[in-house]
């Protein structure tokens, strides 16, 4: 039977299923899971472990938060400790898009295009108030900015702050790591 | 020593093609987009496309009171946020004729100059990063972190400071702040020597910078290029000297200039400006008076009187002007932010013409632009 | 003396195993396994060395000292979506990563890691290594042309120009060593045989870096350029050309380029060790230990250079090659030939 | 330079006003007509003044006109001169200064972008900060006011208010 670990809200299937018995899907009521799927889950867990520890961000700064993103990659904070310090300039080689800064209406199609250029599985981190809901630039009838990154790309982690400190970004990356390890992600 | 501009024979063979750099490009400093027309690797035409981080600061200024706009000010140019924040305060003080206490004047100068150093250090790092030297970037960030820590201890933020208040500053500084600033400047002087050995004397850097991207006096004049980029062309124009504000006339500092107008000159000017900022901070610390940090008598509401006003200050990138029109209410009728990088970048098409693709990076990196400041 | 030189012949894997049909897959397995471990460790080392130079810590979280970091990266890259952009030249685009990957694997077989054993003993070994090294250019150009991306194309064009130019001083500096080998090792042995070059140095107790210091320097500089390492990393100059020729490659295809880049580093270092640093020669430690110690020391220097210097501009790079390196290497070759004929 | 700058300004401007620099930050303010702008700018250029900025005020509520503001300054010793030029954005065009001061190019584009004031003979009068397909002039007073949220110029914006 699938062990349900509700502590962190993550549902984990057992890594081994020696009897090849059908496993009850802990999420569904009566749905059964094919044993083959469970065996594949072992591989999936391994791959997820790899993905979680190798989140290469796209070199992509929008505004103020980009400087804190750079600071997080620099000596004092060093995102590379968690394997997330390999900033890739090409979207084709990046895993996580850190949306660092205000998204203007002029920029939003570009961001969407970059997101589409990234190979899946991919994740997005909304860094800073602007990418959460417009932040300090939000006011009625604001014409220039996109109020929230989630209007453009599916966002996995929101990091509040204006700008968030590098520690906050690292905390966000660690959160994302947990999320990836658990195998949860948006499709597409 | 003057360096003649590097001669490149204009190539006329082969087809033109267009290369689009940005808005997402590792060395476009955020979201600048350059549409380059190239022949081989030589640039025939360069067209900067800006506005990718237009955040409607000016519209917001017309829609909220002068006080409410205060947090916006440091977000215009986040690298010299303190200078912009204090500059905006000083503009309103000038309009409302508010007298700033001496202690606040000194604190402001320390904070602004620390911020200027941090901005120059960040430029130093990213410029080297653009040229492919990755390590100096991390060293300069290391030094910059110390400034951020010092400013953090008194302002509570690392980047987008909101430290100024109309009439003074938010919080008083303590002795520890002053001691840390003094210690940092001492350290920075030794670090500058190391940078000179490691970076400035490096033969590859010199090859990449000398004679590259010459902005002549005439070009600078026509585009109103200001700041270190102008001073590198041999014009000793610094708003802090030309129209002293915020007590800068009480202190002794020089305006460093270079003659050649190339990227190397801009490099030298900025490094020498760091030294001048150190001097300013030392003087301000040495002569720090006791007293209040906010004036005793303050207007109840900050109403912008009818009429138009102009205030200029020197940011890390050049002449930052605030043009404000009031109509008697506390919401400005109009606020124009004259930002230095806007003008500096507008000179780029002329400067880039005829250079190599790799020089583009060195030149655009060398004038030190901050995109949200250009786009506002 | 000359007697022993002609007698010298290391055992190859075919001779050891006896059956060539068995030996070949074995050799391939050994090479692939060793190279994979090598690349995993090199990437980790690169990140640690850069971190050390930059006063950071580098990877620490995955495995002890972050040793498994690259493994995680590899796992991730394997499972990444392979994006095939629209309007590409399909055959070229798909073949390029393999073309970059295969020659470097082949070239490794020729290196004599110890006095007595070598995977493949070939009298034209040096030429073979250079020939395979030259194929990397083709792969890069295929990638750049096939990607339908201007950055990739620019990177590829630069790379072709750079690699072809730097191959000349590279080979000329190696040639002066070959002259010395032939002069010292008698007429029967081939100076192009890598095992032989190493053996002559150990036998004569003189490393060729002492006889050919200029050639060694020229070789090292050209090797940096051949492997597209900073300050010559112009084909993939990140701040100019995004990611250069592999801008459009994702997942496993990208990692093949990565793989070949790091293996190339190993190859040029091993070649430098064979040509100038006496191969396996050294006191106390066994031969292979010395061989790899020297190779990785050279790789460390390459990393050190990369994380210290800014990048040259393209035209400066070419000027440096054609006006400094090539004349110098030709002069060096002539001087060597003259010295040998006089002595 | 045949005639010195103050005389030239007197000749060309409709009205001039001395201002207290300590209070307002500029020395003189001149009101001019569109026809003399280029001549005056050339006089400033020859006298060694830089063009600091061009901006605009939307005074259509009072005078039906946009008020272009030009700011000239001297680098050696500060002497800031403002020029005021009222223009009707619907019927008139201001002459461009980009032939004299190259920096005016972008300033004018920005004014066009934000206020819809057109400049005749401008080499590339197009949007600069806003997207090319924008159908509004952002800094006009009848567009996107915060306090009259629902009466904004752009109907599509209404859904976003909260």
Among candidates A49, A54, A119 on the partner chain, residue whose Cβ is nearest the Cβ of C250: A119
Element (H, E) at A126: strand A123-127
**Which residues of chain A have a CB within 8 Å of the CB of D140?**
none
| Chains A and B touching, counted as 3 or more CB pairs less than 8 Å apart | yes
Angle between the N-to-C axes of helices B357-366 and B102-130, in degrees from 0 to 180, rounded to the nearest 10 = 170
Q: How far apart are CA C316 and CA C233, in angstroms?
A: 13
Q: How far apart are the first and last CA of chain B?
A: 39
Kindly report, residue by residue over B2-18, the tens digit of the pLDDT.
Answer: 444 444 555 566 678 88
Asked if D touches C (at least 3 Cβ pairs < 8 angstroms), the answer reads no
* Nearest residue on chain D to A147, alpha-carbon basis: D160
Residue B86 tokens read as 């204090």
pLDDT score at D102: 86
The shortest C-alpha distance from C86 to chain B (Å) reads 18
Whether A75 and C54 lie within 8 Å, measured CB to CB: yes
Beta bridge partners of A107: none
C229-282 residue pLDDT tens = 777 777 666 667 777 788 888 888 888 888 888 888 888 888 888 888 877 777
Helix (H, G, I), strand (E, B) or coil at B357: helix
Determine, for residues A75 and B138 on separate chains, whether the beta-carbon distance falls below 8 Å.
Answer: yes
CB contact under 8 A, B132 and C150: no
Q: Tell me the helices (H) and strands (E) count for chain B, helix number first.
A: 15, 8
B31 touches chain A (CB under 8 A): yes
Partners of C55 on chain B (C-beta within 8 Å) are 138-139, 142
Per the CB < 8 Å rule, is A54 touching C83?
A: no
**Domains detected in chain B:** 55-374 (1.10.645.10)
B339 touching A, CB under 8 A? no
Domain ranges (residues) in chain C: 18-79, 85-342
Give pLDDT, residue D154: 43
Query: Is the CB of C48 inside 8 Å of chain A's CB atoms?
Result: no
Contacts of A119 in chain C (CB under 8 A): 80-83, 250-251
Residue C147 contacts A where some CB pair is shorter than 8 Å? no
Which member of A74, A83, A95 has the closest CB to residue C59? A83
Predicted TM-score (pTM) of the model is 0.85
Question: What is the distance in angstroms between the Cα of A104 and the nearest Cα belonging to chain D?
Answer: 9
Q: How far apart are CA B116 and CA A65, in angstroms?
A: 19
Question: Is B255 touching D (CB cutoff 8 A)?
Answer: no
d(CA D24, CA A74): 44
CB-based contact (8 Å) between C79 and chain A?
yes
Tens-digit pLDDT profile for chain C (343 aa)? 333 445 566 677 777 777 777 777 887 888 888 888 888 888 888 888 888 888 888 888 887 888 888 888 888 888 888 888 888 888 888 888 888 888 888 788 777 777 777 777 777 778 888 888 888 888 888 888 888 888 888 888 888 888 888 888 988 888 888 888 877 766 556 777 777 777 777 777 778 887 888 888 888 888 888 887 777 777 666 667 777 788 888 888 888 888 888 888 888 888 888 888 877 777 777 778 888 888 889 888 888 888 888 888 777 888 888 888 889 889 988 888 888 888 7
Q: Which residues in chain D touch residue A106, judged by CB atoms under 8 angstroms apart?
A: 130-131
CB atoms within 10 A of CB D159: 7
The minimum CA-CA distance between C279 and chain B, rounded to whole Å, is 33
| Structure confidence by residue, pLDDT tens digits, C2-42 | 334 455 666 777 777 777 777 778 878 888 888 888 888 88
Enumerate the H helices of chain C as residue ranges: 2-7, 13-17, 20-53, 69-78, 90-108, 125-146, 150-184, 194-204, 208-211, 213-226, 238-241, 251-276, 287-306, 314-320, 326-342
Contact at CB, D52 and B56, closer than 8 angstroms: no
All structural domains of chain A, each given as residue ranges with its CATH number in brackets, are 3-52 (no CATH), 57-182 (3.40.50.12280)
Q: For residue B70, what are the CA distances in angstroms to B57, B88, B164, B190, C67?
A: 11, 7, 8, 36, 49
Q: Which of B53, B139, B141 sits opposite A71 (nearest CB)?
A: B141
D 122-141: CB under 8 A from A: 130-131, 136, 138
Contact flag A92-C254 (C-beta cutoff 8 Å): yes
Closest residue to B358, CB basis, from C56, C309, C313: C313
- pLDDT surpasses 80 at B22: no
Question: Do the Cβ atoms of A62 and B142 come within 8 Å?
Answer: no
D106 touches chain A (CB under 8 A): no
Which chains neighbour C (Cβ–Cβ under 8 Å, 3 or more pairs)? A, B
The mean predicted confidence, pLDDT, of chain B is 85
Cβ separation of D102 and B62 shorter than 8 Å?
no
- Rg from Cα positions in chain D: 17
pLDDT in tens, A136-180: 888 877 888 888 888 888 888 899 888 888 899 899 888 888 888
Chain A interface includes C238 (CB < 8 A) = yes
CB contact under 8 A, B75 and A136: yes
Secondary structure of residue C31 in the 3-state scheme? helix
CA distance C246 to chain B (A): 15
Tell me the β-bridge partners of B39. B42
A177 touches C: beta carbon within 8 Å: no
The whole-angstrom separation of Cα A126 and Cα A151 is: 11
Contact call for D146 and A139, based on CB within 8 A: yes
What are A27-72's pLDDT values in tens digits?
Answer: 544 445 555 655 667 777 788 888 888 888 888 888 888 888 888 8
Query: Which of B17, B132, B205 lies closest to C239 in CB terms?
Result: B132
Which positions in chain D have a beta carbon within 8 angstroms of at least one beta carbon in chain B?
23-26, 29, 50-53, 55, 57-58, 69, 71, 75, 77-78, 80, 82, 100-103, 105-106, 114, 127-131, 138-139, 141, 144-147
Instruction: Report how far residue A184's alpha carbon sits from residue A40's, in angstroms, rounded to the nearest whole number.
Output: 16
Name the percent of chain B lying above pLDDT 90. Answer: 4
Q: Do A143 and D154 touch (CB under 8 A)?
A: yes
Domains of chain D with bracketed CATH: 5-159 (3.30.460.80)
Q: Which member of D144, D161, D162 has the closest CB to residue A143? A: D144
Rounded mean pLDDT, B203-216: 84
Whole-angstrom Cα distance, residue B101 to residue B95? 17
Q: How many residues does chain C have?
A: 343
- Residues of chain D below pLDDT 50: 1, 149-162
Q: Is there a contact between D25 and B334 if contact means CB atoms under 8 Å apart?
A: no
- Which of C120, C129, C122 minimizes the C-alpha distance to C15? C120
């Amino acid at each position: 039977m699938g062990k349900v670990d509700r502590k962190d809200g993550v549902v984990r299937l057992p890594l081994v299923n020696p009897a090849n018995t059908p496993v009850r899907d802990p999420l569904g009521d009566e749905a059964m899971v094919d044993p083959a799927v469970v065996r594949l889950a072992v591989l999936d867990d391994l791959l997820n472990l790899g993905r979680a520890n190798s989140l290469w961000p796209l070199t992509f700064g929008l505004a103020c938060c980009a400087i804190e993103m750079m600071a997080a990659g620099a000596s004092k904070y060093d995102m590379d400790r968690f394997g997330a310090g390999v900033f890739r300039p090409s979207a084709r080689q990046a895993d996580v898009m850190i949306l660092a800064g205000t998204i203007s209406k002029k920029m939003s199609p570009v961001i969407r295009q970059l997101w589409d250029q990234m190979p899946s599985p991919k994740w997005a981190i909304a860094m800073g108030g602007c990418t959460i809901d417009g932040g300090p630039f939000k006011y009625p009838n604001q014409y220039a900015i996109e109020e929230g990154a989630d209007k453009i790309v599916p966002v996995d982690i929101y990091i509040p702050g204006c700008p968030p400190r590098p520690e906050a970004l690292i905390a966000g990356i660690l959160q994302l790591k947990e999320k990836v390890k658990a195998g949860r992600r948006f499709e597409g | 020593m003057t360096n003649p501009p590097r001669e490149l024979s204009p190539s006329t063979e082969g087809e033109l093609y267009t290369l689009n750099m940005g808005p997402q490009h590792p060395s476009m400093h955020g979201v600048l987009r350059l549409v380059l027309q190239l022949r081989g690797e030589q640039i025939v035409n360069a067209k900067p496309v800006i506005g990718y981080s237009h955040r409607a600061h000016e519209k917001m200024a017309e829609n909220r009171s002068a006080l409410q706009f205060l947090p916006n000010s440091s977000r215009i140019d986040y690298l010299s946020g303190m200078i912009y924040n204090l500059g905006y305060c000083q503009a309103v003080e000038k309009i409302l004729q508010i007298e700033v206490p001496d202690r606040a004047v000194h604190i402001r100068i320390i904070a602004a100059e620390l911020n200027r150093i941090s901005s120059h250090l960040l430029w130093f790092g990213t410029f080297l990063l653009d040229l492919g030297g990755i390590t100096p970037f991390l060293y300069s960030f290391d030094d910059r972190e110390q400034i951020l820590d010092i400013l953090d201890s008194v302002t509570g933020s690392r980047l987008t400071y909101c430290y100024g208040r109309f009439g003074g500053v938010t919080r008083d500084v303590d002795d520890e702040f002053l001691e840390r600033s003094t210690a940092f400047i001492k350290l920075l002087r030794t670090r500058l020597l190391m940078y000179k050995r490691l970076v400035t004397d490096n033969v590859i850097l010199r090859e990449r910078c000398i004679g590259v991207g010459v902005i002549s006096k005439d070009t600078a004049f026509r585009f109103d290029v200001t700041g270190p980029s102008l001073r590198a062309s041999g014009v000793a124009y610094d708003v802090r000297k030309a129209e002293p504000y915020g007590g800068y006339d009480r202190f002794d500092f020089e305006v460093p200039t270079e003659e050649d107008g190339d990227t190397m000159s801009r490099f030298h000017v900025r490094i020498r400006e760091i030294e001048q900022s150190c001097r300013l901070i030392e003087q301000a610390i040495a002569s720090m008076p006791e007293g209040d940090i906010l004036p005793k008598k303050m207007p109840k509401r900050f109403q912008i009187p009818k009429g138009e006003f102009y205030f200029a200050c020197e940011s890390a990138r050049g002449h930052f002007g605030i043009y404000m029109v009031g109509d008697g209410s506390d919401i400005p009728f109009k606020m124009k932010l004259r930002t230095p990088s806007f003008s500096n970048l507008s000179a780029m098409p002329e400067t880039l013409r005829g250079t190599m693709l790799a020089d583009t990076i060195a030149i655009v990196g060398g004038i030190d632009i901050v995109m949200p400041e250009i786009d506002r | 003396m000359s007697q022993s030189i002609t007698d010298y012949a290391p055992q190859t894997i075919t001779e050891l195993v006896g059956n060539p049909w068995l030996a070949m897959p074995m050799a391939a397995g050994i090479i692939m396994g060793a190279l994979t471990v090598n690349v995993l460790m090199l990437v980790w080392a690169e990140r640690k060395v850069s971190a050390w130079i930059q006063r950071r810590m580098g990877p620490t979280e995955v495995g002890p000292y972050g040793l498994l970091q690259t493994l995680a990266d590899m796992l991730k890259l394997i499972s990444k979506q392979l994006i095939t952009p629209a309007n590409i030249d399909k055959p070229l685009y798909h073949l390029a990563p393999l073309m970059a990957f295969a020659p470097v694997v082949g070239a490794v077989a020729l290196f004599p890691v110890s006095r007595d054993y070598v995977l493949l003993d070939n009298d034209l070994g040096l030429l073979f290594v250079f020939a395979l090294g030259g194929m990397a250019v083709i792969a890069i150009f295929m990638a750049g042309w096939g990607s339908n991306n201007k950055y990739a194309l620019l990177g590829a064009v630069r790379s072709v120009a750079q690699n072809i130019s730097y191959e000349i001083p590279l080979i000329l500096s190696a040639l002066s060593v070959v002259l010395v080998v032939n002069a010292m090792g008698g007429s029967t042995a081939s100076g192009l045989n890598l095992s032989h070059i190493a053996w002559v140095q150990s036998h004569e107790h003189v490393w060729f870096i002492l006889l050919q210091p200029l050639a060694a320097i020229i070789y090292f500089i050209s090797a940096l350029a051949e492997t597209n390492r900073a300050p010559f990393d112009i084909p993939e100059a990140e701040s100019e050309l995004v990611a250069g020729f592999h801008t459009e490659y994702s997942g496993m295809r990208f990692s093949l380029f990565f793989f070949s880049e790091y293996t190339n580093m190993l190859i040029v270092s091993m070649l430098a060790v064979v040509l100038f640093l006496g191969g396996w020669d050294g006191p106390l430690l066994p031969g292979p230990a010395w061989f790899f110690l020297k190779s990785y020391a050279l790789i460390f220097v390459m990393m050190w250079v990369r994380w210290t210097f800014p990048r040259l501009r393209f035209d400066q790079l070419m000027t440096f090659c054609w006006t400094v390196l090539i004349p110098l290497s030709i002069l060096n070759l002539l001087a060597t030939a003259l010295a040998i004929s006089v002595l | 330079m045949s005639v010195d700058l103050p005389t030239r300004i007197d000749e060309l401007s409709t009205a001039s006003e001395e201002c207290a620099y300590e209070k307002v930050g500029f020395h003189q303010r001149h009101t001019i007509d569109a026809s003399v702008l280029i001549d005056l700018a050339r006089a400033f250029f020859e006298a060694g003044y830089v063009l600091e900025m061009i901006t605009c005020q939307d005074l259509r509520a009072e005078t039906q006109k946009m008020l272009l503001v030009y700011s000239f300054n001297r680098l050696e010793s500060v002497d800031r001169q403002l020029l005021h030029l009222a223009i009707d954005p619907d019927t008139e065009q201001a002459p461009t200064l980009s032939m004299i001061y190259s920096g005016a190019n972008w300033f004018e584009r920005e004014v066009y972008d934000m206020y819809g004031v057109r400049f005749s003979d401008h080499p590339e009068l197009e949007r600069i900060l806003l997207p090319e397909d924008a159908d509004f002039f952002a800094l006009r007073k009848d567009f996107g006011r915060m306090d009259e949220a629902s009466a904004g110029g752009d109907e599509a914006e209404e859904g976003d208010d909260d």
